[in-house]
Amino acid sequence: MPLCYSWPRFFRTKPPTVPDISLVSDSDSGSTTSSCRQCGLFDLCFAQGVAESRRDELDRIVRRQKPLERENHLFMAGQPLKSICVIRSGTVKSYRLSRDGDEIVTGFHLPGELIGLDAIGHERHPAFAVALEDSRYCEIPYREFQRLLSGSPDLNQLMLKLLSVDMAETRELLVVIGRLDARARVAVFLLNLSRRLARRGKDPFRFRLSMDRRDIANYLGLTIETVSRTLSWMQKNGMLTVRGKLVSILDVDSLLDRAGREHEDLLLQQA
Amino acid sequence: MTTTFRPRFDDGLIARYGGEGPRYTSYPTAVQFSESFQAPDLVNALDESNRLPIPPDLSLYAHVPFCASPCFYCGCNRVITRSTTIGQEFLAHLEQELDLLVDHVDPDRQVQQVHLGGGTPTFLTTGQIGQLMRLLKTRFPFAETPEIGLEIDPRSVEPSGIRELRELGFDRLSVGVQDLDPAVQKAVNRVHDAEQVEAIIGAAHRVGFRSISVDLIYGLPLQRPESFARTVEAIVAMRPGRVSLFNYAHMPHLFKAQKQIRADELPAPATKLALFRNTVNRLLDAGYEFIGMDHFALPDDDLAVARRDGTMVRNFQGYSTHGGLDLLALGPSAISQVGDAFAQNRRGLIDWQAALEEGSLPVLRGLLRSAEDRLRAEIISDIMCFGEIEYRKFERDHEIVFDAHFGPELGRCEALADDGLIEWTAGGFRATPSGLLFLRTVAMAFDAYLHEGRTNGSRFSRVV
């Protein structure tokens, strides 16, 4: 396993394990899916945007991986970029470590979303990626992907668009979150999640939060108490119900009011 | 779920279904607990709860295992002692147990309920009970208006003590009366007079206790319908908010103290049934509502309100006004419920102390519920609390098709419906007035472990 990072000695938990990607081949992916087009996620996956003529090539290089168990890492910060990943099922959290070894949560990734794009710049992963629940994913080896890119203006355009959207959303979320009060931050978080689920054909108004309150608090820059208190407040005011990890959104309008109408573009499902 | 119940007595059904059944203070029942569940499993469950988007608030239970003398009917875990120092030692160990637990509970989780049971909580002096409350309050944040209650032995508390308990924050009490007839009291070794009970309940009403409950037991030695009717009449006149009417289960092979009870003095089955029937009818005529099984409450009592509102739950403390709390239990033999985990403490006082002195949580055994267990637990709770099931609720919450998932169970319900215990509704079923006395029997139809044949022998008390 080629690793050129060292596990920070001040990190408080056991070193995570990295799946040995070199040993995994298509044949033991544990899935009957043999091509992107037959994949249940195809309509949601970035691969759909790839021109018809290029899909066979993409099919050839995509590697469907063994399931990744909860708390296992997809990659580590500092590792050289080998592949870009697409989540097929489950949820993946990305995070960095502060100088003191504290975790800083930078995002949550849902099925159909690409992760590892932020490693392209320096060909090295700036963040850790860990499964929050048992997850499945596909790998696209970066070198082969580059070759594919160089022969395909369509694919180049698609990637540029994806990167730009990702960057814009991330930036806007950062700005939004940084300037809002706690209730608005939590509302933005839930509506954003809801929209991404809707985009993937999932129920946007009833979903399980696979991230725990420490992750949500960390991501939003709030204390865990504030996250829970805010959710309780929203529940008391009829905006949603929380039962265990299950969130049911009852009143999108009120949540949107709370988040701030000016962020509607960011939060609502686009036509 | 907002109607009031009036159970109807049907001798044929009682003969047929009056057999043994679990009381379903948990599902799976404690019979399924296993010693493969240990302290680290409880710690995991606490951590899982801490991580939820809104972690459940807390209900604290402390089991004070001491009694000054043995009541012969008792099947509880207790230590008979007159020692005056043992209470203080107990508090020191309880503090150790609290300190071990509190490390695993996020500090924003508030205490909504406190209950002291036993044994005899009032074996402790009022000063010691105050000390116990301070131990709890210095370790957990309390909600603004928590329910704080305890069980009282009328022999161990003076009316002046009731005011002191109120000042310590207690607002609910449960008085173990059992029977006021002197002959019965003597036969069970629990002698007190009606005036003591009246004085305690009167004092509790005056100093503002929010709920007062009285426990009665039918089926005790020398009980006769006429004398027990006098007891019930006296209690009804005192107007406690709740009355529990427990069935005495004579199981001397399991509970040593019961060997002191002469089997030839026990009422015959027909007499016992008359005791139960007369008491139920008298309570209902006096304005008490049927809560479930053996519980009755005045319409304005919190428990009656919770039942009508559909928020009542069944847990280790019996029927309760509050659902959705993690129950942390302290003291020997006490059972915690945290998320899907049940954890019972070591039963013996010495064993419990030994674990604490080693610095470990004194878990003896327990169980982690599966998703299937949880589904069945919710169904059983609805049956026990409301006598009614609506399939759609479970289909939505658990993503099942009720008919397909519960084929054999609904087959068993079919037989109960034929016998008139339940009747089918548009999307489920509900207990008939005659079936209300057999909620346990209906619940048993959904108990997977009972029908697996893993439980055997007479571990459960009779349904009626």
pLDDT tens, per residue, chain B with 464 residues: 445 678 888 888 887 887 778 999 999 999 999 999 999 999 999 999 999 999 999 999 999 999 999 999 998 888 999 988 999 999 999 999 999 999 999 999 999 999 999 899 999 999 999 999 999 999 999 999 999 999 999 998 988 999 999 999 999 999 999 999 999 999 999 999 899 999 999 999 999 999 999 999 999 999 999 999 999 999 999 999 999 999 998 999 989 899 999 999 999 989 999 999 999 999 999 999 999 989 999 999 999 999 999 999 998 888 999 888 999 999 999 999 999 999 999 999 999 999 999 999 999 999 999 999 999 999 999 999 999 999 999 998 898 999 999 999 999 999 999 999 999 999 999 999 999 989 999 999 999 999 875 444 455 666 66
pLDDT of residue A19: 35
**Residue contact B53–A216, C-beta within 8 A:** yes
Closest CA–CA distance from residue A230 to any residue of chain B (Å): 9
Please count the residue pairs, one from chain A and one from chain B, whose beta carbons lie less than 8 angstroms apart.
31
pLDDT of residue B33: 97
Beta strands in chain A (DSSP E): 63-64, 73-75, 83-89, 92-97, 103-109, 114-115, 128-131, 136-141, 206-208, 240-243, 246-249
Which chain B residue is nearest to residue A223, measuring alpha carbons?
B108
Closest CA–CA distance from residue A97 to any residue of chain B (Å): 20
**Residue contact B54–A231, C-beta within 8 A:** yes
Residue from A150, A86, A83 nearest A123 by CA: A83
Question: Tokens representing B1?
Answer: 């779920």
Alpha-carbon gap, residue B282 to A12, rounded angstroms: 64
pLDDT of residue B123: 95
Does residue A10 register a pLDDT over 70?
no
Q: What pTM was computed for the model?
A: 0.87
pLDDT of residue B144: 95
Residue from A222, A223, A221, A247 nearest B106 by CA: A223
Q: Which residues of B touch A243 (CB under 8 A)?
A: 397
Which chain A residue is nearest to residue B396, measuring alpha carbons?
A206
**Torsional sign, CA B263, B268, B271, B275:** positive
Alpha-carbon gap, residue B249 to B263, rounded angstroms: 12
**Residue contact B108–A229, C-beta within 8 A:** yes
Would you call B396 an interface residue with chain A, using a CB distance cutoff of 8 Å?
no
Q: Which of B51, B54, B108 is the closest to A214 by Cβ? A: B51
Instruction: List the single best residue of A212, A223, A227 to mutate versus B (max B Cβ within 10 A).
Output: A212
**Residue contact B108–A231, C-beta within 8 A:** no
Q: Which residues of A touch B377 (CB under 8 A)?
A: none
Alpha-carbon gap, residue A85 to A141, rounded angstroms: 9
Alpha-carbon gap, residue A166 to A118, rounded angstroms: 10
Would you call B52 an interface residue with chain A, using a CB distance cutoff of 8 Å?
yes
Which chain B residue is nearest to residue A235, measuring alpha carbons?
B54
Alpha-carbon gap, residue B320 to B315, rounded angstroms: 7
**Residue contact B53–A227, C-beta within 8 A:** yes
Does residue A5 register a pLDDT over 60?
no
Taking CA atoms, B406 is separated from B424, B435, B447, in Å, by 15, 21, 11
Q: Which of A209, A228, A247 is the closest to B55 by Cβ? A: A228
Q: Which residues of B touch A228 (CB under 8 A)?
A: 53-55, 108
Contact map slice: B 270-309 vs A, CB within 8 A: none
Mean of the per-residue pLDDT values of chain A: 80
Closest CA–CA distance from residue B250 to any residue of chain A (Å): 41
Whether the bond between B119 and the residue before it is cis, its omega within 30 degrees of 0, is yes
Would you call B377 an interface residue with chain A, using a CB distance cutoff of 8 Å?
no
pLDDT of residue B237: 97
Would you call B371 an interface residue with chain A, using a CB distance cutoff of 8 Å?
no
Taking CA atoms, A5 is separated from A25, A82, A85, A107, B270, in Å, by 25, 14, 20, 22, 81
Q: Any idea what DSSP says for residue A140?
A: E
Sorting pLDDT into bands at 50, 70 and 90, what band is A32? very low
Does residue A50 register a pLDDT over 80?
no
Q: Which residues of A touch B52 (CB under 8 A)?
A: 212-213, 244-245
pLDDT of residue B455: 46
State the complex-level ipTM.
Answer: 0.83
Q: Which residues of B touch A229 (CB under 8 A)?
A: 108
Whether the bond between A19 and the residue before it is cis, its omega within 30 degrees of 0, is no
Does residue A39 register a pLDDT over 80?
no
Taking CA atoms, B378 is separated from A173, A205, B1, B372, B446, in Å, by 40, 24, 15, 10, 10
Burial of B144 (0-12, 13-18, 19+ CB in 10 A): exposed
Beta strands in B250-361 (DSSP E): 289-292, 295-297, 313-315, 318-320, 326-330, 335-338, 341-345
Give mean pLDDT, residues A172-189.
Answer: 84
Q: Which residues of A touch B54 (CB under 8 A)?
A: 213, 228, 231-232, 235, 242
pLDDT of residue A2: 31
Give mean pLDDT, residues A227-232.
Answer: 97
Residue from B112, B144, B107 nearest A223 by CA: B107
